[in-house]
Amino acid sequence: MSMSDRLAILPEAAIALLKEKFGEAIKIDWPLHSYSTFGTGGRAGLFMEVETPDQLSLLLHTVRELNIPHFMLGGGSNILISDKGYRGLIIRNLIKGLKVEGTTISSGAGESLKDLVSFAAECGLTGLEFATGIWGTVGGAIYGNAGAYGAEIGTCLDSAQVIDKQGNMRTETASYFEFSYRISKLKSTGEFIASAKFALKKGDKALILSRINEIMETRKAKLPLDKRSAGCFFKNVVDKNRPYGKIPAGQLLEEIGAKEITVGGARVSEEHANILINEGTATSEEIWRLAEILKRHVKDKFGIVLQEEIVFLGEFQEESL
């Protein structure tokens, strides 16, 4: 997709107004590959980083009035960006800040989960250890109800500051988000998180740090943390008769010989069959094609259609299982 194609749906007057309001913070035809843990993807028609809730609110209000398509990008750890780029505005959430009050921690949505987990441990608060080693930001974790070891971010969320499509801000309690496995209400409402509060419990700091180290060592042994990937690519399959109520997608992929399958520079990790790797030369299209092949093999053998845990941004070929 050429620059003119990416900007075709963005009238010059709209771009001029954004430049007038936000100045040099608005970038035109901006490369996106460095904002994805896969290290792939094309360019965005427009790009802007936001650092405060008020800035995000104003930006959303403006793009709503101008009818500009937009997408919120956090840590880029759970996304595959099309090689063709994105025809609209990419907003990168950099709203930071961590503070504690009693057993409640407040966090900006742009904080990394890693820093949130470490901060809670230093405060002697327990409840977030399960998130050790999960990539991404706090906002992205709430959006996708990130979790591990039978726990999810939604179970410890107290409330969050939400900004709707019109730029209006309000606070909602955890029940509003209707959390389920890798799902939150945000996926249907299109709203964004500016900040969040987590209700934790007092714990023994030494025991908390020990648990964090234990989980991290387990992840290092099982996961290719030094490779370009997006973590687990597919959701586990819900089955109440299995441990944690799920059939691991990695188990199904192991049984179809996923680790032997490659497409161009994209392959399946030798450490974990549910992790797709960019060997260094892969395109997003090759990663997507590899995922489609894996899904087809699992469906043929088990009659199960795997669902992606990651988000596809931009245009990919249509393919039917």
Do residues 71 and 85 lie in contact, with contact meaning Cβ atoms separated by under 8 Å? Answer: no
Tokens for 150, please give them: 């039978």
Crossing angle of the two packed helices 205-222 and 113-122, in degrees rounded to 10: 150
Per-residue model confidence (pLDDT) at position 9:
64
What is the helix (H) or strand (E) element at residue 118, kind and residue range?
helix 113-122
Positions of E strands within the chain: 27-31, 43-50, 70-73, 79-81, 86-93, 98-101, 104-108, 125-126, 147-148, 151-152, 157-163, 169-173, 192-199, 201-202, 237-238, 246-247, 262-263, 266-268, 276-278, 311-313
Going along the chain from its start, the domains and CATH numbers come out as 3-93 (3.30.43.10), 98-220 (3.30.465.10), 225-313 (3.90.78.10)
Extract the residue ranges of the chain whose pLDDT is less than 70.
Answer: 1-9, 318-321
Average pLDDT, the chain: 93
Per-residue model confidence (pLDDT) at position 31:
97
Give whole-number Cα distances, 110 to 116, 253, 257, in Å: 11, 33, 38
Crossing angle of the two packed helices 12-22 and 53-66, in degrees rounded to 10: 160
Tokens for 170, please give them: 């309000």
Per-residue model confidence (pLDDT) at position 3:
62
Give the predicted TM-score (pTM) of the model: 0.90
Per-residue model confidence (pLDDT) at position 241:
83
Question: Exposed (0-12), middle (13-18) or buried (19+): which is 45, by Cβ within 10 Å?
Answer: buried
Give whole-number Cα distances, 107 to 64, 157, 183, 239, in Å: 26, 11, 20, 34
Per-residue model confidence (pLDDT) at position 250:
95
Q: In this predicted model, what pLDDT tens digit does every residue of 173-231 receive, in sequence order?
A: 999 999 999 999 999 999 999 999 999 999 999 999 999 999 999 888 877 878 899 98
Per-residue model confidence (pLDDT) at position 50:
97
How far apart CA 154 and CA 215 sit, in angstroms, is 20
